[in-house]
Structure 1
Amino acid sequence: MSVWSWLDRGASQPSRTTPASRLVARAGLARARRHDGVTAPASCLLHPEARIHPRDGRIVLGERCLIAPGAVVQGDVTFGDDCSAQAYAVIVGYPGGRVTLGSGVRVAPHAMLIGANHVFAGRDRPIHAQGLEAAPITVGDDVWIAGRVTIVAGVTVGSGSVLAAGAVVTRDVPPFSVVAGVPARVIKTR
Protein backbone atom coordinates (compact mmCIF):
# COMPACT_ATOMS: atom_id res chain seq x y z
CA MET A 1 0.00 0.00 0.00
CA SER A 2 1.38 3.41 -0.95
CA VAL A 3 1.23 6.49 1.22
CA TRP A 4 -1.24 7.95 -1.30
CA SER A 5 -3.59 4.97 -0.98
CA TRP A 6 -3.39 5.28 2.78
CA LEU A 7 -4.14 9.01 2.67
CA ASP A 8 -7.05 8.70 0.24
CA ARG A 9 -8.34 5.58 2.06
CA GLY A 10 -8.22 3.53 -1.12
CA ALA A 11 -10.60 5.76 -3.10
CA SER A 12 -10.91 4.80 -6.76
CA GLN A 13 -10.63 8.41 -7.87
CA PRO A 14 -9.17 11.62 -6.44
CA SER A 15 -11.36 14.13 -4.64
CA ARG A 16 -11.10 17.20 -2.43
CA THR A 17 -13.57 16.14 0.26
CA THR A 18 -11.12 15.78 3.17
CA PRO A 19 -7.82 17.43 4.11
CA ALA A 20 -5.98 14.21 3.22
CA SER A 21 -7.68 13.91 -0.18
CA ARG A 22 -6.85 17.56 -0.91
CA LEU A 23 -3.19 16.77 -0.17
CA VAL A 24 -3.33 13.78 -2.53
CA ALA A 25 -4.90 15.93 -5.27
CA ARG A 26 -2.25 18.65 -4.85
CA ALA A 27 0.50 16.03 -5.03
CA GLY A 28 -1.00 14.50 -8.20
CA LEU A 29 -1.17 17.88 -9.90
CA ALA A 30 2.43 18.66 -8.90
CA ARG A 31 3.69 15.28 -10.17
CA ALA A 32 2.02 15.79 -13.56
CA ARG A 33 3.19 19.40 -13.89
CA ARG A 34 6.82 18.48 -13.17
CA HIS A 35 7.08 17.64 -16.86
CA ASP A 36 7.53 20.62 -19.19
CA GLY A 37 5.17 19.04 -21.72
CA VAL A 38 2.14 18.85 -19.38
CA THR A 39 -0.46 21.61 -19.07
CA ALA A 40 -3.01 21.02 -16.29
CA PRO A 41 -5.15 23.73 -14.67
CA ALA A 42 -5.61 23.82 -10.89
CA SER A 43 -9.21 22.60 -11.26
CA CYS A 44 -7.98 19.13 -12.35
CA LEU A 45 -8.00 16.17 -9.96
CA LEU A 46 -5.00 14.00 -10.79
CA HIS A 47 -4.02 11.13 -8.54
CA PRO A 48 -0.28 10.82 -7.83
CA GLU A 49 -0.44 7.13 -8.77
CA ALA A 50 -1.58 7.96 -12.32
CA ARG A 51 1.18 7.68 -14.93
CA ILE A 52 1.08 11.05 -16.68
CA HIS A 53 4.11 11.64 -18.92
CA PRO A 54 4.40 13.52 -22.22
CA ARG A 55 7.34 11.42 -23.49
CA ASP A 56 8.51 13.66 -26.36
CA GLY A 57 5.02 15.06 -26.92
CA ARG A 58 2.55 17.30 -25.14
CA ILE A 59 -0.34 16.55 -22.77
CA VAL A 60 -2.98 19.26 -22.42
CA LEU A 61 -5.77 18.80 -19.88
CA GLY A 62 -8.89 20.98 -19.86
CA GLU A 63 -10.65 22.35 -16.79
CA ARG A 64 -11.97 19.92 -14.16
CA CYS A 65 -10.41 16.78 -15.64
CA LEU A 66 -10.01 13.74 -13.41
CA ILE A 67 -7.30 11.08 -13.76
CA ALA A 68 -7.69 8.11 -11.38
CA PRO A 69 -4.92 6.03 -9.77
CA GLY A 70 -3.37 3.54 -12.15
CA ALA A 71 -4.48 5.39 -15.30
CA VAL A 72 -1.81 5.94 -17.97
CA VAL A 73 -1.82 9.13 -20.06
CA GLN A 74 1.32 9.48 -22.18
CA GLY A 75 2.61 11.11 -25.35
CA ASP A 76 0.56 13.53 -27.46
CA VAL A 77 -2.83 13.73 -25.73
CA THR A 78 -5.41 16.52 -25.39
CA PHE A 79 -8.41 16.43 -23.04
CA GLY A 80 -11.30 18.90 -23.28
CA ASP A 81 -13.04 20.18 -20.14
CA ASP A 82 -14.77 17.84 -17.66
CA CYS A 83 -13.15 14.60 -18.88
CA SER A 84 -12.23 11.59 -16.76
CA ALA A 85 -9.92 8.61 -17.17
CA GLN A 86 -10.67 5.92 -14.59
CA ALA A 87 -8.37 3.31 -13.05
CA TYR A 88 -6.11 1.48 -15.50
CA ALA A 89 -7.35 3.32 -18.58
CA VAL A 90 -4.49 3.66 -21.09
CA ILE A 91 -4.37 6.68 -23.41
CA VAL A 92 -1.19 7.00 -25.48
CA GLY A 93 -0.59 9.44 -28.33
CA TYR A 94 2.34 9.62 -30.74
CA PRO A 95 3.75 12.22 -33.12
CA GLY A 96 1.24 12.03 -35.97
CA GLY A 97 -1.02 9.93 -33.73
CA ARG A 98 -2.35 12.49 -31.26
CA VAL A 99 -5.28 11.37 -29.11
CA THR A 100 -7.84 14.17 -28.74
CA LEU A 101 -10.82 13.93 -26.39
CA GLY A 102 -13.60 16.52 -26.57
CA SER A 103 -15.32 17.91 -23.49
CA GLY A 104 -17.30 15.68 -21.14
CA VAL A 105 -15.67 12.42 -22.28
CA ARG A 106 -15.77 9.53 -19.80
CA VAL A 107 -13.13 6.81 -20.16
CA ALA A 108 -13.96 3.79 -17.98
CA PRO A 109 -11.47 1.38 -16.34
CA HIS A 110 -9.21 -0.68 -18.60
CA ALA A 111 -10.19 1.18 -21.79
CA MET A 112 -7.35 1.61 -24.27
CA LEU A 113 -6.76 4.35 -26.86
CA ILE A 114 -3.43 4.01 -28.69
CA GLY A 115 -2.52 6.39 -31.54
CA ALA A 116 -0.20 3.99 -33.40
CA ASN A 117 0.07 0.41 -34.59
CA HIS A 118 3.12 -1.77 -35.21
CA VAL A 119 4.17 -2.26 -38.81
CA PHE A 120 4.45 -5.97 -39.60
CA ALA A 121 4.32 -6.24 -43.41
CA GLY A 122 7.92 -7.42 -43.87
CA ARG A 123 8.52 -11.06 -43.06
CA ASP A 124 12.29 -10.61 -43.43
CA ARG A 125 12.57 -8.38 -40.32
CA PRO A 126 11.24 -8.75 -36.78
CA ILE A 127 8.09 -6.77 -36.04
CA HIS A 128 9.87 -4.68 -33.40
CA ALA A 129 12.35 -3.49 -36.06
CA GLN A 130 9.66 -2.32 -38.52
CA GLY A 131 8.53 0.70 -36.54
CA LEU A 132 5.11 2.20 -35.90
CA GLU A 133 2.42 3.66 -38.11
CA ALA A 134 0.79 6.55 -36.25
CA ALA A 135 -2.69 7.94 -36.93
CA PRO A 136 -4.77 10.28 -34.76
CA ILE A 137 -7.70 9.26 -32.59
CA THR A 138 -10.39 11.93 -32.22
CA VAL A 139 -13.27 11.60 -29.76
CA GLY A 140 -16.08 14.19 -29.86
CA ASP A 141 -17.86 15.79 -26.90
CA ASP A 142 -20.04 13.90 -24.41
CA VAL A 143 -18.84 10.38 -25.24
CA TRP A 144 -18.87 7.42 -22.85
CA ILE A 145 -16.10 4.90 -23.48
CA ALA A 146 -17.08 1.92 -21.32
CA GLY A 147 -14.82 -0.60 -19.63
CA ARG A 148 -12.29 -2.57 -21.68
CA VAL A 149 -13.07 -0.69 -24.91
CA THR A 150 -10.20 -0.51 -27.39
CA ILE A 151 -10.02 2.32 -29.93
CA VAL A 152 -7.35 1.83 -32.59
CA ALA A 153 -5.29 4.47 -34.38
CA GLY A 154 -7.05 6.47 -37.09
CA VAL A 155 -10.57 6.33 -35.61
CA THR A 156 -12.93 9.28 -35.09
CA VAL A 157 -15.78 8.89 -32.59
CA GLY A 158 -18.68 11.30 -33.08
CA SER A 159 -20.09 13.41 -30.26
CA GLY A 160 -22.75 11.93 -28.00
CA SER A 161 -21.77 8.32 -28.71
CA VAL A 162 -21.61 5.36 -26.35
CA LEU A 163 -19.01 2.61 -26.85
CA ALA A 164 -20.29 -0.52 -25.09
CA ALA A 165 -18.08 -2.53 -22.74
CA GLY A 166 -15.46 -4.63 -24.50
CA ALA A 167 -15.99 -3.08 -27.93
CA VAL A 168 -13.04 -2.97 -30.32
CA VAL A 169 -13.50 0.18 -32.38
CA THR A 170 -11.68 -0.18 -35.71
CA ARG A 171 -13.61 2.35 -37.82
CA ASP A 172 -15.25 5.74 -37.41
CA VAL A 173 -18.37 6.05 -35.23
CA PRO A 174 -21.15 8.44 -36.34
CA PRO A 175 -22.41 11.01 -33.78
CA PHE A 176 -24.99 9.79 -31.25
CA SER A 177 -24.35 6.13 -32.00
CA VAL A 178 -24.22 3.18 -29.63
CA VAL A 179 -21.61 0.67 -30.78
CA ALA A 180 -20.79 -2.81 -29.49
CA GLY A 181 -18.92 -5.92 -30.51
CA VAL A 182 -15.63 -7.09 -31.96
CA PRO A 183 -15.21 -5.38 -34.32
CA ALA A 184 -17.62 -2.72 -33.08
CA ARG A 185 -20.69 -1.91 -35.13
CA VAL A 186 -23.58 0.50 -34.61
CA ILE A 187 -26.41 -1.26 -32.76
CA LYS A 188 -28.63 1.81 -32.32
CA THR A 189 -28.66 5.58 -32.24
CA ARG A 190 -29.37 7.88 -29.32
Structure 2
Amino acid sequence: MAKLVQKVFFILISRYLYNFLSWFRKLWYHMQGMYVGHNTYLPSIKITWPHQVVIGDNCSLEQGIYFKFDGIWKQGPSIIIKNNVFIGAGCEFNIRKEIVIGDNSLIASGCKFIDHDHGTSLSSPMHKQQGPEKAILIGNDVWLGCNVVVLKGVEIADGVIVAAGAVVTKDIPPYEIWAGIPAKKISQRN
Protein backbone atom coordinates (compact mmCIF):
# COMPACT_ATOMS: atom_id res chain seq x y z
CA MET A 1 0.00 0.00 0.00
CA ALA A 2 2.85 2.42 0.84
CA LYS A 3 4.42 1.89 -2.60
CA LEU A 4 1.10 2.67 -4.29
CA VAL A 5 0.77 5.89 -2.30
CA GLN A 6 4.35 6.85 -3.21
CA LYS A 7 3.67 6.14 -6.88
CA VAL A 8 0.46 8.19 -6.93
CA PHE A 9 2.19 11.03 -5.07
CA PHE A 10 5.11 10.97 -7.55
CA ILE A 11 2.73 11.04 -10.53
CA LEU A 12 0.77 13.96 -9.08
CA ILE A 13 3.95 15.93 -8.38
CA SER A 14 5.69 15.18 -11.68
CA ARG A 15 2.72 15.62 -14.00
CA TYR A 16 0.61 18.27 -12.39
CA LEU A 17 2.54 20.35 -9.86
CA TYR A 18 5.68 20.75 -12.02
CA ASN A 19 3.57 21.60 -15.08
CA PHE A 20 1.57 24.15 -13.08
CA LEU A 21 4.76 25.74 -11.72
CA SER A 22 6.22 25.85 -15.23
CA TRP A 23 3.05 27.49 -16.55
CA PHE A 24 3.13 30.04 -13.71
CA ARG A 25 6.84 30.83 -14.34
CA LYS A 26 6.16 31.28 -18.07
CA LEU A 27 3.30 33.67 -17.29
CA TRP A 28 5.41 35.61 -14.77
CA TYR A 29 8.38 36.01 -17.10
CA HIS A 30 6.11 36.72 -20.10
CA MET A 31 4.71 39.71 -18.20
CA GLN A 32 8.34 40.92 -17.94
CA GLY A 33 8.97 40.52 -21.68
CA MET A 34 10.49 37.03 -21.93
CA TYR A 35 9.29 34.66 -24.65
CA VAL A 36 9.12 30.90 -24.00
CA GLY A 37 7.91 28.68 -26.86
CA HIS A 38 5.32 25.91 -26.97
CA ASN A 39 6.08 22.59 -25.24
CA THR A 40 9.02 24.12 -23.39
CA TYR A 41 9.06 23.33 -19.69
CA LEU A 42 10.50 26.17 -17.61
CA PRO A 43 12.12 24.97 -14.35
CA SER A 44 13.40 27.19 -11.57
CA ILE A 45 15.99 29.51 -13.16
CA LYS A 46 17.80 32.73 -12.33
CA ILE A 47 17.45 35.68 -14.69
CA THR A 48 18.43 39.35 -14.52
CA TRP A 49 16.49 40.92 -17.43
CA PRO A 50 13.72 38.58 -18.65
CA HIS A 51 13.01 40.68 -21.77
CA GLN A 52 16.52 39.81 -23.00
CA VAL A 53 15.70 36.06 -23.28
CA VAL A 54 13.88 34.15 -26.04
CA ILE A 55 13.51 30.36 -25.76
CA GLY A 56 12.06 28.43 -28.70
CA ASP A 57 9.62 25.54 -28.99
CA ASN A 58 10.19 22.03 -27.60
CA CYS A 59 13.23 22.98 -25.52
CA SER A 60 14.27 21.06 -22.43
CA LEU A 61 15.85 23.08 -19.62
CA GLU A 62 17.12 21.77 -16.31
CA GLN A 63 17.24 23.50 -12.91
CA GLY A 64 19.61 26.29 -11.94
CA ILE A 65 20.32 27.90 -15.31
CA TYR A 66 21.45 31.53 -14.97
CA PHE A 67 20.51 33.95 -17.75
CA LYS A 68 22.55 37.02 -16.87
CA PHE A 69 22.33 40.01 -19.15
CA ASP A 70 25.32 41.86 -17.74
CA GLY A 71 24.50 45.52 -18.09
CA ILE A 72 21.89 48.19 -17.73
CA TRP A 73 18.46 47.99 -19.34
CA LYS A 74 18.40 47.99 -23.14
CA GLN A 75 16.12 46.66 -25.86
CA GLY A 76 16.30 42.91 -26.22
CA PRO A 77 16.53 40.09 -26.88
CA SER A 78 20.22 39.30 -26.51
CA ILE A 79 19.97 35.64 -25.42
CA ILE A 80 18.27 33.65 -28.18
CA ILE A 81 17.75 29.91 -27.88
CA LYS A 82 16.09 28.34 -30.89
CA ASN A 83 13.92 25.18 -31.13
CA ASN A 84 14.55 21.67 -29.75
CA VAL A 85 17.50 22.72 -27.58
CA PHE A 86 18.59 20.93 -24.38
CA ILE A 87 20.32 22.99 -21.67
CA GLY A 88 21.68 21.13 -18.63
CA ALA A 89 21.67 22.11 -14.99
CA GLY A 90 23.86 24.98 -13.81
CA CYS A 91 24.63 26.57 -17.17
CA GLU A 92 25.49 30.28 -17.14
CA PHE A 93 24.87 32.81 -19.89
CA ASN A 94 26.88 35.95 -18.97
CA ILE A 95 26.04 38.17 -21.92
CA ARG A 96 26.43 41.85 -22.79
CA LYS A 97 26.25 41.70 -26.59
CA GLU A 98 24.43 38.58 -27.85
CA ILE A 99 24.34 34.79 -27.94
CA VAL A 100 22.35 32.67 -30.40
CA ILE A 101 22.05 28.90 -29.98
CA GLY A 102 20.81 27.06 -33.08
CA ASP A 103 18.14 24.38 -33.43
CA ASN A 104 18.63 20.84 -32.08
CA SER A 105 21.69 21.69 -29.98
CA LEU A 106 22.73 19.95 -26.75
CA ILE A 107 24.33 22.05 -24.00
CA ALA A 108 25.43 19.81 -21.11
CA SER A 109 25.47 20.77 -17.44
CA GLY A 110 27.79 23.48 -16.20
CA CYS A 111 28.56 25.17 -19.54
CA LYS A 112 29.41 28.86 -19.44
CA PHE A 113 29.10 31.52 -22.14
CA ILE A 114 30.85 34.87 -21.66
CA ASP A 115 30.84 37.43 -24.49
CA HIS A 116 32.94 40.19 -22.89
CA ASP A 117 36.20 40.94 -21.04
CA HIS A 118 37.55 43.56 -18.69
CA GLY A 119 40.02 46.12 -19.94
CA THR A 120 43.70 45.67 -19.09
CA SER A 121 45.02 49.23 -19.19
CA LEU A 122 47.26 50.41 -16.34
CA SER A 123 45.37 53.73 -16.19
CA SER A 124 42.67 52.49 -13.78
CA PRO A 125 41.67 49.33 -11.87
CA MET A 126 40.60 46.48 -14.19
CA HIS A 127 37.18 46.10 -12.56
CA LYS A 128 36.31 49.64 -13.70
CA GLN A 129 37.33 49.11 -17.33
CA GLN A 130 35.08 47.94 -20.13
CA GLY A 131 36.73 45.41 -22.40
CA PRO A 132 35.77 44.15 -25.83
CA GLU A 133 32.31 42.64 -26.40
CA LYS A 134 31.60 40.24 -29.28
CA ALA A 135 28.58 38.02 -29.87
CA ILE A 136 28.69 34.23 -29.53
CA LEU A 137 27.03 32.15 -32.27
CA ILE A 138 26.32 28.44 -31.85
CA GLY A 139 25.08 26.60 -34.95
CA ASN A 140 22.47 23.87 -35.38
CA ASP A 141 22.98 20.31 -34.06
CA VAL A 142 25.93 21.26 -31.82
CA TRP A 143 26.85 19.21 -28.74
CA LEU A 144 28.82 20.88 -25.93
CA GLY A 145 29.96 18.46 -23.19
CA CYS A 146 29.87 19.19 -19.45
CA ASN A 147 31.60 22.36 -18.21
CA VAL A 148 32.57 23.76 -21.62
CA VAL A 149 33.44 27.46 -21.55
CA VAL A 150 32.75 29.51 -24.69
CA LEU A 151 34.37 32.95 -24.79
CA LYS A 152 33.59 36.18 -26.65
CA GLY A 153 33.40 36.35 -30.41
CA VAL A 154 33.36 32.58 -30.95
CA GLU A 155 31.30 31.08 -33.76
CA ILE A 156 30.70 27.34 -33.49
CA ALA A 157 29.41 26.02 -36.82
CA ASP A 158 26.74 23.35 -37.45
CA GLY A 159 27.33 19.78 -36.30
CA VAL A 160 30.29 20.48 -33.99
CA ILE A 161 31.09 18.42 -30.87
CA VAL A 162 33.12 20.00 -28.06
CA ALA A 163 34.46 17.65 -25.37
CA ALA A 164 33.78 18.14 -21.67
CA GLY A 165 35.88 20.75 -19.89
CA ALA A 166 37.12 22.47 -23.06
CA VAL A 167 37.65 26.23 -23.28
CA VAL A 168 36.65 27.52 -26.73
CA THR A 169 38.54 30.69 -27.67
CA LYS A 170 38.26 30.66 -31.48
CA ASP A 171 35.82 29.72 -34.25
CA ILE A 172 35.15 26.05 -35.01
CA PRO A 173 34.35 24.92 -38.60
CA PRO A 174 31.43 22.56 -39.33
CA TYR A 175 31.39 18.92 -38.21
CA GLU A 176 34.63 18.95 -36.25
CA ILE A 177 35.34 17.52 -32.79
CA TRP A 178 37.36 19.74 -30.44
CA ALA A 179 38.80 19.27 -26.93
CA GLY A 180 41.30 20.78 -24.52
CA ILE A 181 42.33 24.08 -22.96
CA PRO A 182 42.36 25.98 -25.20
CA ALA A 183 40.19 23.81 -27.41
CA LYS A 184 41.81 22.33 -30.53
CA LYS A 185 40.59 20.01 -33.27
CA ILE A 186 41.00 16.34 -32.39
CA SER A 187 38.81 14.68 -35.04
CA GLN A 188 36.21 15.09 -37.77
CA ARG A 189 32.63 13.76 -37.70
CA ASN A 190 31.89 11.14 -40.36
**CA deviation string 1:34-74 (max 9, x = no partner):** 322x1112321111x2113436x621111112222111123
Percent identity (aligned): 23
Aligned partners of 2:126, 2:26: CA distance in 1, in Å?
Answer: 37
Runs of 4+ aligned residues of structure 1 deviating over 6 Å after TM superposition are none
Aligned partners of 2:175, 2:108: CA distance in 1, in Å?
Answer: 18
**CA deviation string 1:68-117 (max 9, x = no partner):** 211112332101101122111001321xx200000011111110011111
Equivalent residue, structure 2, for 1:86: 88
TM alignment of 1:38-187, pairs within 5 A = 38-47=34-43, 49-54=44-49, 58-75=52-69, 76-94=78-96, 97-120=97-120, 122-187=121-186
Give the 3-state SS of the residue equivalent to 2:127 in structure 1.
Answer: helix
- Corresponding residue pairs, total: 171
State the TM-score, normalizing by the size of structure 1.
Answer: 0.83
Instruction: Name structure 1 gaps, 5 residues minimum.
Output: 1-7, 10-15
Aligned partners of 1:65, 1:32: CA distance in 2, in Å?
Answer: 16
State the TM-score, normalizing by the size of structure 2.
Answer: 0.83
Aligned partners of 1:105, 1:74: CA distance in 2, in Å?
Answer: 20
- Which is richer in helix? 2
Instruction: Name structure 2 gaps, 5 residues minimum.
Output: 1-8, 70-77
Give the 3-state SS of the residue equivalent to 1:28 in structure 2.
Answer: helix
